[in-house]
Chains A and B, each alone.
Chain A
Amino acid sequence: MTAAPRDLVLDVGDLETNYYTQAGVVEAVRKVSLEIERGHRVGLVGESGSGKSTLALSILGLIEPPGRVVGGSVVLNGCDIAKFSDRQLQKVRGRQVSLVFQDPMTALDPVKTIGAQIAETILRHRRIGRRAARRNAVELLRDVEVPQADRRLDDYPHQYSGGMRQRVLIAIALANEPDLVIADEPTAALDVTTQAQVLDVLERLVTERGTAVMLITHNLGVVAEFCDRVFVMYAGRLVERASADDLFACQAHPYSEALLRSVPRPDRLQRGPLPTIPGSPPSLAHLPPGCPFEPRCPVGQGLDVCRTQVPVPVAVGDPADPIVAECHFAQERWSAAVGRSASGGGT
């Protein structure tokens, strides 16, 4: 029963972030808790607007007005950095935890060389000379497979392709060997071939260095390949959390199931329209009283309990490594799924 004490690189507890706008208070992150073990890779999945990027920025303390982190703890390597001042956080960012930003076309300063931008993070956290930093930067460029690294170091961002720029962002994030890298949609702006390339690079580097990764994406295929654990986010909350294997085998939360089903399968002949999740996510400024997914939920739509009561997290499955889902029907769904696979029916 008592598991060995887990070495957590990140332990987020009840994190809450609000945006105070003209239209009202937008609750972007609503008491989110999650843990990441050292060296592990977790995926954070959800639709646009679910709060994924806000969560990432909240962890790093980069939320600017009109947004504000209003509660919770962010324990990084044992320290609660949610309580840190910006000055203290400056020592942590880029060193213990770093961010790979999502849009390579706008994530780099257009008037500074690539080399300068990589060296900037090195020089920020290490007392080495500029020449040493430059050599370091060339090394990093080679690591991320940029050809002719020593010459391309002095190029500007607009002279790089999108895929190359994304890899530069990875290089910047990994420059100081952080314990945790948060990669926010690192492949969203790229075509499929480049995506694969970028992910390969990322995979290789984090495996080499034992870096933990939080991969934020809406691409479930990437999650399946890359991640050990998955967190599913909807309307500012983590509605399901499970190991990757468990999640793909059986989805306790109807949203997870719907997400998986909406992935087009090129290997299967599909007749009729592509499956989608009808409707759209609720406005985070005007949340309904019950379960936020209810209006679109194939299971709970229209049901009283779903409309009026907020679901509490329910742990199902293996007690040592449970699936935790916020659904009134989580237990039934899981049992049903187990029953199905036991009786031989597969997906």
Chain B
Amino acid sequence: MSMTRRIAGQLVGGLISILGASIIAFLFMRVLPGNPARLIVGPLASQEAITQQEKAMGLDQPLVVQYWRYIKGIITGDWGFAYTSGETVRHEIVARLPASMELGLYAFLIAFVLAVLLAVLSTYRHRPWLDGGVRTASFLGLGTPPFWFGLIALLLFSQVWGIFPGPDGRLGPDTIPPPTVTHFYTFDAVIAGQWGTAWDALRHIALPAITLGLAPWAFLVRLLRANLLEVSRENFLVVVRSKGLGRRPAFQKHALPNAFLPTLTAAGLLLAQLLAGSVLVEKVFNWPGVGGLIVDSILRQDFAVVQTFVLLSAILYVCVNVVVEILYSVVDPRVRLPVMK
């Protein structure tokens, strides 16, 4: 099957998944007890006020019509109002998205770089101590509840040893955010030349990023290690060595690239998950990201926000899937080129 057909197939499948997710999200929020109209007009409002509000919100229409309006709204950018804050959903989400994305990016970088480093070190030469240590650490990393780890980390590194600042969000209380370019404080501060701000931002993002990146690191390091071990036993490496290549060039030029390929897909998906923000880590560190917004919205049954966010994360997930697929087919010649004889 040619590459364009495969990608087209992926896209169609993705769209169907998104559609399905949107229906589930939509229906679900309608099923919630509690009346959003009432939430808006307040607990003391009269029945007429509530009915009027319902009409204004279109809640008296049949479900199908409501769904249609909802989908239309999503596409046109009208994502409704957040009932608890009064702002548009879009405003709420967009305001907080960069914080989550910055956190997710750093978490991914830490996880990825450390995973590659440790996986390579522990498999290149037979170092049973390091290997065993890495494996144990990866199991522990997968099993640690991130919110608990964040708390312990705060306790040790912030309270007891004072290396990192406490949970006051992205910047210290005395620091002014840098002028906005990318919405990422670390980048913007560097761009504006505000080194003090940049340092402060980095110090604040360190602990949450490490906490968030712990589980992804554990996952990646195990995957890469397993792939490296498997590739090391492949026959073509014997052939490469029989050409007179040393262990290091054989490892670098042949083992690593082949082991990296299957890791790419997993890494891409992880990045997507991380970018969508982590609900709990953000809460622990008072990080003003999307995650905190979502938790509060769920608890307060502010379904407009939740609906939109869920749909958005579904779309993100599908998009990243497709991108990873495309990337993979570009990078892996077995997928890119058809078999000819």
Contacts and interface: CB of A to CB of B under 8 A. Distances in A.
When A and B assemble into the complex, do they touch directly, with CB atoms less than 8 Å apart?
yes
Interface of A: 57, 60, 62, 65, 86-87, 90-95, 98-99, 101, 103, 106-112, 120-121, 124-125, 155-156, 158-159, 161, 169, 172
B239 A172 contact: yes
B235 A158 contact: no
B33 interface: no
Interface of B: 126, 234-236, 238-247, 254, 257-258, 261, 331-334, 337-341
A87 B248 CA distance: 11
A87 B236 CA distance: 20
A90 B258 contact: no
Contacts of A87: 246
A165 to B, nearest CB: 11
Given A86-B246, A98-B243, A106 B258 contact: no
A106 B333 contact: no
A174 to B, nearest CB: 12
Nearest to A65: B126
Contact of A91 (B235, B244, B334): B244
Contacts of B241: 62, 93
A121 B244 contact: yes
14 contacts: A65-B126, A91-B244, A94-B245, A101-B235, A103-B235, A106-B235, A109-B254, A109-B258, A110-B334, A111-B258, A156-B334, A156-B337, A161-B341, A169-B239
Given A62-B242, A92-B244, A109-B258, 15 more contacts: A57-B238, A94-B245, A99-B238, A106-B236, A107-B238, A108-B239, A109-B254, A110-B236, A110-B333, A111-B257, A111-B332, A111-B333, A121-B243, A156-B334, A158-B337
A60 B235 CA distance: 15
Nearest to B341: A161
Most buried by B among A62, A106, A109, A159: A109
Contact of A93 (B236, B243, B334, B338): B243
Given A110-B258, A110-B334, A101 B239 contact: yes
A99 B258 contact: no
B257 to A, nearest CB: 6
Nearest to A91: B244
Contacts of A169: 239
Nearest to B338: A159
Nearest to A61: B241
A109 B244 contact: no
Contacts of A90: 244-246
A202 B314 CA distance: 57
Contacts of A172: 239, 243
A124 B235 contact: no
A125 B243 CA distance: 9
Nearest to A102: B235
Contact of A107 (B239, B334, B339): B239
Contacts of A94: 242-245
Contact of B244 (A95, A159, A161): A95
A93 to B, nearest CB: 4
Contacts of A156: 333-334, 337
B237 to A, nearest CB: 8
Contact of A120 (B238, B245, B246): B245
A109 B236 CA distance: 6
Given A110-B333, A111-B261, A101 B340 contact: no
Nearest to B126: A65
Nearest to B260: A111
B234 A106 contact: yes
A101 B246 contact: no
Contacts of A62: 238, 241-242
Contacts of B332: 111
A65 B247 CA distance: 14
Given A86-B246, A90-B245, A94-B242, A107 B236 contact: yes
Given A65-B126, A121-B244, A124-B245, A159 B239 contact: no
Contacts of A60: 242
Contacts of A91: 244
Nearest to B241: A62
**Residue from the set B236, B245, B247, B339 with the largest chain A CB neighbour count within 10 Å:** B236
Nearest to B332: A111
